[in-house]
Chains A and B, each alone.
Chain A
Amino acid sequence: MAEYKWPEPEKRSLIGKRISRVDGPAKVSGKAKYTYDIKRPDMLYGKVLRSPHAHAKIVSIDTSAAEKMPGVKAVKVIQEPGTEIKWAGDEIVAVAAVDEPTAEDAIRAIKVTYEKLPHLVVEEDLSAAGDNAKPAAEQTAGEPEKAFGEAEVIVEGFYGLPVITHCCLESHGSISEWEGDQNLLVHISTQAVSNVANQIGRPLGIPAANVRVKQDHIGGGFGSKFQVDRWDVTAAQLSKMAGGKPVKIMLERDAELMVAGIRPSAYARVKVGAKRDGEIIAWQSESWNTGGSGGGGSPPLPYVFSVPNKHTQHTGIATNTGSARAWRAPNHPQGCLVTMSALEDTAARLEMDPLDFFLKNIELAGRFAEVYREEFAIAADLMEWKKNWHQRGAKTAGPVKRGLGLSLHTWGGGGHGSNCDVIIHPDGSVEVKMGTQDLGTGTRTAIMMVAAETFGLPLEAIKLMIGDNQFPTSGASGGSTTIGGVSASTRRGTLDALEQLFEKVAPSLNVQPADLEAVAGRIRVKSDPRRGLSWKEACMKIGGTAITTRGRNPGPGTLNSSGVGGVQMADVSVDVETGIVRVNKVVAVQDCGLIIDLKTAESQVYGALIMGVCYALYEERIMDARTGRMLNPNMEFYKLAGLGDIGELVVHMMTGKAYDERGVIGLGEPPVISPGAAISNAVANAVGVRVPSLPLTPDRVLAALQYPDREGGSSKNGGNDAGI
């Protein structure tokens, strides 16, 4: 049996190098096809009528006028009269028509009456949540009361961050069409090609085996495209009603922002107890959040630092808003912001440099304490921390104050279940097939690199096929699980295939299979590299039937593992007259075990930092307490950072033996966890007061400066008007 491990560093020809994305040329030339781009023969366009009310009961639905309209091919009631609607934007009726305007006209012709019910859409104020608040059990470790008694410094604070959305540039949706009444073809924008058939087959009453799923490229998911959505099932139903004609439903931008997933909010009152020398001894937090009408989990508190004596209590608030979905590193950015802000406030009270303060307590960070220590040393260098840091509140003249902040984070990122077929044809061509997807992270590139590395071939020699559920199943891309999964299954499958090839080739070279290696396009004898065959010649020994193997993860050997640490530092300038925050520089030092493609790994981190700047400074779902609707379901007022907002970004990936040995670990989530905390801490350091809630918009900054003791610090907090 092959030995399943990664090649030694000196033997790697591709792994760990900076390799450009293999699909880059297709993307920059407009050839890459996204689900939104799919146009099928005779395709109909589906549109969805959505509830205008945040909480209501459907009384009646009249679709007769819509049904009679020319060009309308199917009308489907999604939720029947009598159903309770729990958020504005929920799907009520869908239609399919020959073109979009006709479908839109039909939607407008549908009459629905509702009985309005009281709603709650704003959760920043826990005391206003009433029965919608569902407190979880209190948790205690150690002896918090006693420890607070012994604490020499106690710091209390309020911290929060609002609900944000995923705002993928390509919205959610799919195109479904029937072949007969038992077979369905679905093109769908998804993070989980291999899971779609089962999820859509069940509600349609057909076997998953009869569903074919395809996706070449996806314009962003970030955790919001794991599931088959109700509108996807609806498109398939409309298609069936229309005689099997393809029906396309892609969400409009406002719908995507209202119903296609949110990151839960988090608010917390925190108390930290410490010794005068900086030792953290006690933690207490009362936190709350909303993940929409269902749950949203709860932020891990305190985050990373396991404070020996702690008392925590969390309350989930059900609100009449679209539901939560995984958003890059679910719950970690929230836990991180609350914890790192409270700890940095403690350091400030002690008049300690937070870097020294964090390092003093780093053993509380457990397994990655040593990693954090190494990373902080590098980050401090890159940020010139010791030279640039000052005590809280910049003493410089003029309205623009500069400050530094830091944070740290952790994530799992163990590889998901993954299968692939590897085929070596007698003519030397190589195929790898896997039911995975490339979210733009470089999954294609990584799989091809691993296969090419194993076979000693150039990248272009590998024909890779993904994005289709007829290939072996591979897990959903989320939670940073893809790279560990697909690299390991590919490595195992290609090693097995190579072993079979060695068996075919060995006799002709008068050696044992184990004496061979595949290097630089040749199969050669390890002890005498001049003896060997070219890859093509070697493959001619295969005979008539191609070598076919199945690579799997999990499997034998250690190719991947789970758990990483990362640290970040931010340098900001804040204009205390306008309240405008500018990020000057962010430094990210990140570990992710063995890196397959250094270039795509870096771009994951750059992307995460910018996404971090987005939620630290701009992003926020704003709900209207009175109407229960989202006030900014568009990209004009749901703000993302633009090219000019990002500052200098410095990314340092930890590499070397100790990191290599842990095998491949995912990277999508970790670097997006810390930016909010690091930037918030930098702002506090600059202006001398904590701006309690993200995003750090001018109004919040000015409010915090004016009323440093006001909880929340937000200039708007409408409260809820449940009567309307």
Chain B
Amino acid sequence: MIKIKPMAEDKKQKAHIRFVLNGETVEVAFAPHKTLLEVLREDLNLTGTKHGCELGECGTCAVLVDGLPILSCLALGLDMEGREVTTIEGMAEGGCLHPLQVTFADLGAAQCGYCSPGFLLTAKELLERNPAPTRDEIREALSGNLCRCTGYIKIYEAVELAAARMRGEEAEPAREIIHGYE
């Protein structure tokens, strides 16, 4: 149930909702026009979800809502009532990085890192429904995420490596195509 309460200070109305954020129930009041991106970053101080374009074009703001990736800049905060939202801050479990986070960090899939939260959450959902994705399937799942630095090649490798580890295989990074040191 969404209640819109009049606010004393400036008479602007605030919406008041309750939802599950990274496994915990939260209650938050915010101006009702706000996007989920704004609510997360401004009202809940979770700035891991990045602001790239606010127009649904870059994918840096992707989060999971009820397990599915959505662009938080295109979703209304109000619509989150009663739903389950996962942001990058909730991706590690029990202080332990998710296998995708480990491989993204290790392989250099995160350069400046600005696009990484969006990629990571989108990839997490992919691996949950498809533990052994092909490159084409990875491409399709992550096609809404842009990286300017750009880590794409390492992102492919990081997703594949994390997938293998999550399947319980003892996987190491594929031998990189290098003929220098080593």
Contacts and interface: CB of A to CB of B under 8 A. Distances in A.
Given A611-B148, A656-B180, 6 more contacts: A20-B105, A28-B110, A220-B114, A440-B113, A651-B178, A652-B179
Contact of A24 (B105, B139, B148): B105
B130 to A, nearest CB: 16
B71 to A, nearest CB: 12
Contacts of B55: 253, 634-636
Interface string B28-53: 00010100000001100111111111
Contacts of B8: none
B110 A24 contact: yes
A602 B151 CA distance: 11
Contacts of A99: 31
B112 interface: yes
B87 interface: yes
A30 B153 contact: no
A603 B151 contact: yes
A27 B147 CA distance: 14
A703 to B, nearest CB: 28
B91 A440 contact: no
B30 to A, nearest CB: 11
A603 B113 CA distance: 13
A635 B155 CA distance: 20
Interface size class on chain A is 35 or more
Nearest to B47: A37
Contacts of B89: 29-30
Of the candidates A28, A441, A607, A611, the one having the most CB atoms from chain B within 10 angstroms of its own CB is: A28
Contact of A439 (B58, B102, B107, B112): B112
Interface string B99-112: 01110111110111
B58 A602 contact: no
Given A20-B108, A220-B148, A603-B108, A253 B87 contact: no
Nearest to A166: B148
Interface string B145-166: 1111111111110000000000
Nearest to B141: A643
A441 B105 CA distance: 13
Contacts of B54: 252-253
B120 interface: yes
A29 B92 contact: yes
Interface residues of B, number: 65
Contact of A651 (B57, B88, B177): B177
Given A30-B46, A169-B52, A602 B152 contact: no
A654 B110 contact: no
Interface string A34-63: 101101000000000000000000000000
B24 interface: no
Interface string B108-136: 10111111110010000000000000000
B50 A219 contact: yes
B176 interface: yes
A32 B88 contact: no
B138 interface: yes
A459 to B, nearest CB: 14
A218 B152 CA distance: 19
A126 interface: no
A28 B105 CA distance: 6
Given A21-B108, A30-B87, A70-B10, A652 B150 contact: no
A667 to B, nearest CB: 13
B142 interface: yes
A649 B88 CA distance: 29
B50 A29 contact: no
Interface string A605-645: 01100110000000000000000000000111000111110
Interface string B46-78: 111111111101101000000000000000000
Given A21-B110, A27-B113, A650 B180 contact: no
Contact of B180 (A37, A167, A652): A652
Given A634-B55, A652-B180, A653-B180, A217 B108 contact: no
A710 B120 CA distance: 47
Given A607-B149, A646-B152, A25 B57 contact: no
Contacts of A651: 176-178
A189 to B, nearest CB: 10
A17 interface: yes
Contacts of B41: 37
A27 B149 CA distance: 14
A31 B114 contact: no
Interface of A: 16-17, 20-21, 23-34, 36-37, 39, 70-71, 99, 101, 167-170, 217-220, 222, 250, 252-253, 378, 382, 439-441, 595, 598-600, 602-603, 606-607, 610-611, 634-636, 640-644, 646, 649-656
B26 interface: no
A331 B55 CA distance: 32
Nearest to A43: B42
Nearest to A37: B47
Of the candidates A169, A219, A440, the one having the most CB atoms from chain B within 10 angstroms of its own CB is: A169
6 contacts: A29-B92, A30-B88, A34-B47, A603-B111, A606-B151, A642-B139
B181 A440 contact: no
A371 to B, nearest CB: 14
Nearest to B92: A29
A28 B57 contact: no
Contacts of A636: 55, 57
* A-B interface, 7 closest residue pairs, ranked by CB to CB distance from nearest: A30-B48, A27-B113, A440-B112, A24-B105, A219-B114, A30-B88, A37-B47
Nearest to A101: B33
B97 interface: yes
A29 B114 contact: no
A23 B57 CA distance: 27
Nearest to A611: B150
A168 B178 CA distance: 29
B115 to A, nearest CB: 6
Nearest to B41: A37
B143 interface: yes
B150 A655 contact: no
Contact of A27 (B53, B107, B116): B116
A636 B57 CA distance: 6
B146 A652 contact: no
A610 B148 CA distance: 9
A646 B48 CA distance: 27
Contact of A30 (B52, B117, B150, B151): B117
Contacts of A222: 148
Nearest to B107: A20
Contact of B142 (A169, A599, A643): A643
Contacts of B42: 39
A614 to B, nearest CB: 8
B106 A20 contact: yes
Given A21-B105, A654-B180, A644 B139 contact: yes
